[in-house]
Chain A
C-alpha cells in the first residue's frame, strides 16, 4: 500500500468520523484489475475500500450533480481535472462551494492518452491538500485531435465526421460524464425540440454531435472524459478542441475551469469585443 493511499484513507475516515460530511466520493476496485469505479463512502470503515493507483482515471466530480441540495457537505477527492470540473459547475451556478469538502490530491498522471495534454495535475481548488504538489510535466499537443481533422479537406472532414457519427449509438455517456453538460434538462431528452430526432440516422447523429460540441464549446475543461466513456471509442474531443483552438488563436490564452469566476469567452457581451467581421 502506498503512502498516498494511506493518507487518502485516513482523510476520508477522519471526515466521515467527524460527521462533517454526508459521504465521500473516491475510487474503488472492480473485478477487473485495470479498472476502477467511483466509490461512495458513507461509513468510516468504507474508507478501507478506497483505491489509488494508475487506474484511478474516471472523473468523479460530475456525481455532485446528482445531489444538488445535500443535507451535509459532500467530500470529494480532487485532482487537477476534478477541480476544474468543480469550478466549471460552480461557475454555471449548479453546485455551491459550501456544499463541498474538497480533499486535494496532486495527481501523478495516469496511463491514458488524454492525460498527456493535462495542464494542471495539481488541484486548483481544495480545502486541504493531502500531499505536496509536484510540477505538471510539459503537456503534449493540446489540440492533437483538432489538428489532425483540420489537416483534411472540407469533403474529407465531412466524410470523417460522417463515419464517426455513423457509429454513435446515442447512449449519451459523453454527456453524462461531461462536467460542462450540467443543464437541468438536456435538450436531447426533450421530446419536441423540433430539430433533434431520436432516431439513429446520420443527420440526427451529426446534429447531436455538433450541438453537443457547441453547447460545451468554450466551457470544455479538456479532461477527455467524453472520449474515455464512449463505448464506441469515438474521437469526439476533436470538436471541442477546435473551438478552444480558435478562441486561443483569435484572442489569446484561454482555458476554462481554472477558477470559478472568469467569464466564458463566448458567453459575455463586451464593448471591446472584436467585431471586424461585422
Chain B
C-alpha cells in the first residue's frame, strides 16, 4: 500500500476564505493510501516546505499530494524540494484548489466539496505514480533573435556582450524597427535616431552578432537547446559582400514608389536603403517595382555600379542553422484604422495622419525635413486635432486594450506642434489621460501649460468642409457637443501584433492571447518566458509598451537566454510518451498527429506464428517529445502512454470523481 501525504495550502486567504481547509484535510485522511494529511498557511514558503520534508521523514511517505495553486505556479518548486528527500520528484501530484476552485467560486460549502473531490482525484492518481528520472541534453550556445527593432537589438547586444553568439533576424532590409522612424522620445525629448542608431551600429559591428536582414523564418524543428531553424533570405539582387553602400545606384534609379519608412509620405527608388542610417548600410532592390525585374528593361543600376554588385539573377535562399534559444522581438504594427473608421473618412483625406506618419513628418530626416505642413497643400496648419484611442479601448470597432504609449506620444506631438508652430491651436480628444511613468505626468502638465487643449470625449465624425477637416464630438466634462475645424488631424491609433506573428507563433508552438499578442508563461513572475522551453519574449510582441519598458523587457529576456546558454547541458522532462511494442500495430496515427515530429515508425524483427517478420512500430524521440499527449489520444489500441499521465492514472482520477 502506498503511503501518501496530503498537504493542503491556505494560500494566505486566497484558498482559506472560500474552502474549509480543515474539513478538506479531515476528509483526505479518510482516503485509501493516505498516511498523513495536514495544512499550512503558505505551503510554498520555507517553513511549509520544511513541514512536508519532516512529514516524509516521520511517516515514511512515498508520494505527496499538495492541494494549492496551479501546478504551473509551483510544481517545479515542490519538485525541487523533493530532490532533497527520499521521495522521487515525480511522485508528486498537485490538486489545483485555487485557480480551479477558490478563485472561481463564492459558495464556501460547495467550494469545499469541490476541493475535497479534486484532492480525492489527485490522491487516486498519486497512488499510481511511478518514479521517473530526468536525462540531460546538450545546449547549442547560440541565440536567434527574431525582429531587429529596439527590443531585438537590445536583446542581441546583451546576449552578445555576455559572450554568446547571436543571429539577429529582420525581414526588412535594415534593422532599426519602429524606433528608427520616431522623431523625439517622451518625456525627455531626446532624439530617437541619436539614441537608437548608435545601438544599430553596435549591433552591426559586434563580433558576436550576425545580422540576418531581409530574412524570414520558414520552418523550425527541435526543442530548447537545439532548435533547427530554417531561414529564407529573400533575394536582395545586390551583392552585399562587395557593395560599399556608395549610393550611386539609388540616385540613378528611374523608379519612384511609396516609401514604407515614411509611410507613404514620400517616394523612394526601386533600389534603396530603408533609410539613410540603415544597418547594414547597403541597398537592396525591391523586386515589385524594379523595371528590370518586372518588365525586363532598364538595368541602370547595373551600369552605374562601379563595383558590379548588381545581380538580377539573385534568388531567395534557404538555410538551416541550430540555436539553443530563441527570442521573439517581432514588435507591433498600427491598426488599419481606414477599414474600421468609415466615419473618420476611411483614409480619404490626406491631411489625416497616423501617429507614425506624424513622426516622419516632424522628423528632421523625414520627407519635409521636419516642417509640419499639410500633405495635401504644403501649408502650415493653424488648428490641429489629435484623436487618441483610435482602435484602442474600443471593443466595438477595434481592440479592447489600452495601447499604453499613445497618451504620452499624443502629448509629445502636441508639444512638438506648439514648439515648431507657436500660436497653433492643438486639441487633444481623449477618454482618460494615463501617465504612469517616470517624468510622464510632469511632461503632460507641461504640454497643457504650453497651450494644448485637452477635450474629454471621443470624436464621432470627421468630414471635409472646404479645406477644413470638421471634427464632431462631445466634451463630456461640459456635456456639450463640440466641433473643431481642423487643418490637420493626427490619429493615435492602436498597436496590434506584427503581421506574420500567427505563423511564427504556431511554428514554435507558442501561445497567443485573444488579441494575438504572444502569451507570456506567467503574467507576473515569468514575463519574458513563453510556455515553450527556450523561447523568450522581448518588447511589444507580448503587448503594447513604450520604449523604456521595451528595452527593460529585452534585457530581461537576454538575461534568461544568457543563463540558459551558460549551461553546457540541461535536464529534460522525463514525462514523455512510451510505446508498448506488443500492442503497437504500426498504423502511424501517432506519427501524423505529433506536433513536434517526435514519433517515427521503425521496423522491428518480430515473430508471427512460425514466421520471422519485420513490422513497423512507433518509436518516440525522447529529446523531441514535449509530453503533450496527443499521441496517446490518437492511439486506438492504447499502445502509447504518457509517463506521469498514464491512461490508467487518468482513469483512476475519473473514477475517483465519478464513482
Q: Please report the C-alpha to C-alpha distance between residue A109 and residue B506 in the assembled complex, in whole angstroms.
A: 47
From A92, A190, A268, contact of B587 by CB (8 A): A92
Question: Do residues A184 and B503 form an inter-chain contact, with CB atoms below 8 A?
Answer: no
B466-506 vs A, CB cutoff 8 Å, 1 = contact: the mask equals 00000000000000000000000000000000000001001
Does any Cβ of A come within 8 Å of B548's Cβ? no
Question: Do residues A93 and B503 form an inter-chain contact, with CB atoms below 8 A?
Answer: no
Question: Do residues B608 and A68 form an inter-chain contact, with CB atoms below 8 A?
Answer: yes
Question: Do residues A184 and B592 form an inter-chain contact, with CB atoms below 8 A?
Answer: no
Q: Please report the C-alpha to C-alpha distance between residue A271 and residue B506 in the assembled complex, in whole angstroms.
A: 7
Does any Cβ of A come within 8 Å of B630's Cβ? yes
**Least distance between A147 CB and chain B CB atoms (Å):** 27
Q: Is the interface of B mostly helix, strand, loop or mixed?
A: mixed
Does any Cβ of B come within 8 Å of A159's Cβ? no
CB-based A-B contact count at 8 angstroms: 58
From A183, A186, A195, A263, contact of B651 by CB (8 A): A195
- Cβ–Cβ < 8 Å partners of B593 in chain A: 267-269
- Cβ–Cβ < 8 Å partners of A49 in chain B: none
Q: Please report the C-alpha to C-alpha distance between residue A251 and residue B651 in the assembled complex, in whole angstroms.
A: 32
Does any Cβ of A come within 8 Å of B647's Cβ? yes
Does any Cβ of B come within 8 Å of A185's Cβ? yes
From B506, B589, B616, B638, contact of A190 by CB (8 A): B638
**Least distance between A266 CB and chain B CB atoms (Å):** 8
Instruction: Mark the stretch among B67-75, B302-310, B339-347, B578-586 that contacts chain A.
Output: B578-586
Question: Do residues B630 and A93 form an inter-chain contact, with CB atoms below 8 A?
Answer: no
B619-639 vs A, CB cutoff 8 Å, 1 = contact: the mask equals 000000000001000101110
Does any Cβ of B come within 8 Å of A194's Cβ? yes
**Least distance between A218 CB and chain B CB atoms (Å):** 11
Q: Please report the C-alpha to C-alpha distance between residue A55 and residue B539 in the assembled complex, in whole angstroms.
A: 72
Question: Do residues B638 and A187 form an inter-chain contact, with CB atoms below 8 A?
Answer: yes
From A92, A186, A264, A271, contact of B507 by CB (8 A): A271
- A215-B636 CB under 8 A given contacts A92-B587, A269-B593: yes
- Cβ–Cβ < 8 Å partners of A187 in chain B: 636-638
Interface residues on B, range: 20 to 34
- Cβ–Cβ < 8 Å partners of B630 in chain A: 269
Q: Please report the C-alpha to C-alpha distance between residue A43 and residue B17 in the assembled complex, in whole angstroms.
A: 83
**Least distance between B508 CB and chain A CB atoms (Å):** 11
Does any Cβ of B come within 8 Å of A69's Cβ? yes
Does any Cβ of A come within 8 Å of B510's Cβ? no
- Cβ–Cβ < 8 Å partners of A83 in chain B: none
**Least distance between B316 CB and chain A CB atoms (Å):** 20
A120-139 vs B, CB cutoff 8 Å, 1 = contact: the mask equals 00000000000000000000
- Cβ–Cβ < 8 Å partners of A68 in chain B: 608, 613
- Cβ–Cβ < 8 Å partners of A93 in chain B: 585-588, 601, 616
Does any Cβ of A come within 8 Å of B648's Cβ? yes
- Cβ–Cβ < 8 Å partners of A69 in chain B: 608, 611, 613
Q: Please report the C-alpha to C-alpha distance between residue A68 and residue B585 in the assembled complex, in whole angstroms.
A: 12
Question: Do residues A94 and B587 form an inter-chain contact, with CB atoms below 8 A?
Answer: yes
Q: Please report the C-alpha to C-alpha distance between residue A69 and residue B607 in the assembled complex, in whole angstroms.
A: 11
- Cβ–Cβ < 8 Å partners of B584 in chain A: 184
Q: Which single residue of chain B is at the shortest CB-CB distance from A192?
A: B648
Interface centre among B584, B637, B651 (most CB of A within 10 A): B637
Q: Which single residue of chain A is at the shortest CB-CB distance from B586?
A: A93
Does any Cβ of A come within 8 Å of B594's Cβ? yes
**Least distance between A272 CB and chain B CB atoms (Å):** 9
Question: Do residues B592 and A269 form an inter-chain contact, with CB atoms below 8 A?
Answer: yes
B587-617 vs A, CB cutoff 8 Å, 1 = contact: the mask equals 1110011110000010000001001010010
- A193-B638 CB under 8 A given contacts A93-B616, A267-B593, A271-B506: yes
Q: Please report the C-alpha to C-alpha distance between residue A269 and residue B586 in the assembled complex, in whole angstroms.
A: 18
**Least distance between A62 CB and chain B CB atoms (Å):** 15
Q: Please report the C-alpha to C-alpha distance between residue A31 and residue B587 in the assembled complex, in whole angstroms.
A: 39
Q: For residues 259 through 277 of chain A, which have their beta carbon under 8 Å from a beta carbon of chain B? A: 263-264, 267-269, 271
B506-549 vs A, CB cutoff 8 Å, 1 = contact: the mask equals 11000000000000000000000000000000000000000000
Question: Do residues B583 and A184 form an inter-chain contact, with CB atoms below 8 A?
Answer: yes
- Cβ–Cβ < 8 Å partners of B507 in chain A: 271
Does any Cβ of B come within 8 Å of A182's Cβ? yes
**Least distance between A209 CB and chain B CB atoms (Å):** 15
Question: Do residues A267 and B585 form an inter-chain contact, with CB atoms below 8 A?
Answer: no
Q: Which single residue of chain A is at the shortest CB-CB distance from B614?
A: A69
**Least distance between A175 CB and chain B CB atoms (Å):** 11
Q: Please report the C-alpha to C-alpha distance between residue A92 and residue B601 in the assembled complex, in whole angstroms.
A: 12
Q: Which single residue of chain B is at the shortest CB-CB distance from A194?
A: B651
Q: Please report the C-alpha to C-alpha distance between residue A232 and residue B651 in the assembled complex, in whole angstroms.
A: 31
Question: Do residues A269 and B594 form an inter-chain contact, with CB atoms below 8 A?
Answer: yes
Interface centre among A68, A215, A267, A271 (most CB of B within 10 A): A267
**Least distance between A79 CB and chain B CB atoms (Å):** 25
Q: Please report the C-alpha to C-alpha distance between residue A93 and residue B594 in the assembled complex, in whole angstroms.
A: 18
- Cβ–Cβ < 8 Å partners of B583 in chain A: 184-185
**Least distance between B565 CB and chain A CB atoms (Å):** 28
- A271-B594 CB under 8 A given contacts A93-B616, A94-B587: no
Q: Please report the C-alpha to C-alpha distance between residue A269 and residue B507 in the assembled complex, in whole angstroms.
A: 12
Interface centre among A68, A69, A186 (most CB of B within 10 A): A69
- Cβ–Cβ < 8 Å partners of A267 in chain B: 589, 592-593, 634
Q: Please report the C-alpha to C-alpha distance between residue A252 and residue B616 in the assembled complex, in whole angstroms.
A: 32
Q: Please report the C-alpha to C-alpha distance between residue A183 and residue B608 in the assembled complex, in whole angstroms.
A: 15
Q: Which single residue of chain B is at the shortest CB-CB distance from A93?
A: B586
Q: Please report the C-alpha to C-alpha distance between residue A69 and residue B595 in the assembled complex, in whole angstroms.
A: 33
From B595, B608, B613, contact of A269 by CB (8 A): B595
Q: For residues 290 through 319 of chain B, which have their beta carbon under 8 Å from a beta carbon of chain A? A: none
- A186-B608 CB under 8 A given contacts A195-B651, A269-B593, A271-B506: no
Q: Which single residue of chain B is at the shortest CB-CB distance from A186?
A: B637
Instruction: Give 5 A-B contacts (CB < 8 Å), ordered by A residue.
Output: A92-B588, A184-B584, A185-B583, A215-B636, A271-B503
Q: Which 8 A-B pairs have the closest CB atoms?
A: A184-B585, A194-B651, A92-B587, A268-B592, A215-B636, A183-B637, A269-B595, A69-B613
Interface on A for B, CB 8 Å cutoff? 68-69, 92-94, 182-187, 190, 193-195, 215, 263-264, 267-269, 271
Known: A182-B587, A184-B583, A269-B630. 14 other contacts (CB 8 A): A69-B613, A93-B588, A93-B616, A94-B585, A94-B586, A183-B587, A183-B636, A183-B637, A185-B585, A186-B637, A187-B636, A194-B651, A195-B651, A267-B593
